[in-house]
Structure 1
């Protein structure tokens, strides 16, 4: 029996992966599909930026992906989660480090990461070194604080804390986007706006916040003396404990998990 706060993943008790795998594959979004094109049209017609977090399907694999679509319908950025977390690896394939980029747009320097990537310096350090002014933190369903039914991996105390630390370290306004609880954090980690998970979707479907972007565009893409810089990375390397082996990862190679299509074909 699994209890709240235990390390054993409760979802494994129900073998939900086996019973839902075909649904996940079938409902994953293909870039260039009619569904994808409808999102392009929505961005164009409403003259807005769309930051998407989605399950992406290719010919043989699915990925945990993000994309930024501009108001002209152009795909400004498309990335895949570098390493799916925990049980996610049973379904989604690995991305790669090339997607850890901060984009210059007319309103500043924007970047994005997914879910538990915010816990890992492997992903956060390269992003923060590029001096974002706005960060999009895409999470799935997020219960409210002190929700007794929330599992440890979706606990708001944990996930919002990770987003706050990211905002402080990066100096970027951070959008914590999710189904359920959502919030906007200042560059110092304070809450600027929020919606609770218990608010009915029909009552308040979207969280709105206005921010001054004056002077945010055209800024530098690095700080050679910053806390996230090449110099600091070298200091970390030099400070590596002598008793800990200094060698490459001895783990299974990252790759793509080939998945069946609908009906197991």
Structure 2
């Protein structure tokens, strides 16, 4: 069922909650820890209201969520156009656009807004390319590095400040640059400016892994908030058994999923980039995780209710971006269980032991080349020698 900008209030009965209470990671693969970098922030809370005071004014029986579907500044259109000739990314302009979207969502009484995969500064369509040498890397990687977002920078502070100024949870998805690497990053910013989640995509997909460095397993975690348990994953992570199991074991009430782009339905030649495949991943996650799934994606964006509901809110790719930049849906957050684990659930420690015990004996116990942590150095990306 497809509907344009359908806003519905749905009372959810949360089923068995399944979540391991993992500690929030306090170390990241950066020269500085997140806490140290967060100390660089220059944001202020003009109202000096606490989070509890902010939330107390919200109607949690009608909690509105928003998914971004409009492209960032200078992102090539039409949807499946992967020609970057003459295109220059604009992180500054994209941050300003992102702030306007945050303001718009808040004006519509949305309490959560979520952005597509690496929306800041934009997903580099064409990075996954079978040609050798890869023309995207040859001509565009330097511009991409220069326009990737730095945590603690002026642009980062603007986005955190926008969350504070508009009293809204902001789910960011961005290409993060530190002194040595790029990461496919996600962050959840609280209405009072606290960084609740900061993570990196565990394994960028295909040739994405030639640009962005891997994340770490301890960055797969959900957090408890006054509006429910929230977790985040990015695009291909929704096809990864280890990632989905680890996240769903932690019981999300709201799952923020980022995809780069989702075209219109009916194009059978697109395979993994098709709307049919991408939306099926979001719907299956909502069923298996029993969580609301906010599927932010340029083009077709969708918000799925928890469980196996056949009714969801969706705006498809051929609808005007300017007229409908966001998709909204409302839920009864007072029905969320907000528990952290269910020992009797399908995604639990017990079922994990059953998977291990039942793993076929004939399969060699060999790690293979997928799992070991992989990194790309910025110097190497632009052709410099790296020791």
TM-score by length of 1: 0.90
* Residue pair 1:22, 1:261 contacting (<8 A) in 2 also: no
Match of 2:377 in 1: 258
Alpha-carbon RMSD = 2.2
- 1:95 aligned residue (215, 226, 229): 215
- 1:202 aligned residue (311, 322, 325): 322
Confirm or deny that 1:185 pairs with 2:304. Answer: yes
CA distance in 1, matches of 2:205, 2:305: 27
* Residue pair 1:180, 1:197 contacting (<8 A) in 2 also: yes
Match of 1:227 in 2: 346
Task: Report Cα offsets for 1:216-260 as digits up to 9, x if no partner.
Answer: 26x321111110011101111111112111243455831321013
* Residue pair 2:211, 2:381 contacting (<8 A) in 1 also: no
Confirm or deny that 1:11 pairs with 2:129. Answer: yes
Task: Report Cα offsets for 1:2-57 as digits up to 9, x if no partner.
Answer: xxxxxxx9733472222211122111100001110000111111000100111100
Structure 2 counterpart SS, 1:199: coil
* Residue pair 1:22, 1:264 contacting (<8 A) in 2 also: no
Match of 1:3 in 2: none
CA distance in 2, matches of 1:204, 1:241: 50
Match of 1:154 in 2: 273
Task: Report Cα offsets for 1:154-192 as digits up to 9, x if no partner.
Answer: 111111111111110000010100111000111124342
How far the C-alpha of 1:153 sits from its partner, in A, is 2.8
Identify unmatched segments of 5+ residues in structure 2.
1-126
Structure 1 counterpart SS, 2:130: helix
TM-score by length of 2: 0.62
* Residue pair 1:26, 1:262 contacting (<8 A) in 2 also: no
Match of 1:4 in 2: none
Equivalent pairs counted in the alignment come to 256
How far the C-alpha of 1:262 sits from its partner, in A, is 10
How far the C-alpha of 1:144 sits from its partner, in A, is 1.6
Match of 1:50 in 2: 170
Identify unmatched segments of 5+ residues in structure 1.
1-8
Confirm or deny that 1:36 pairs with 2:167. Answer: no
CA distance in 1, matches of 2:153, 2:216: 23
Change in 2 beyond 3 A, CA 1:90/1:261: closer
How far the C-alpha of 1:140 sits from its partner, in A, is 0.5
CA distance in 2, matches of 1:61, 1:191: 41
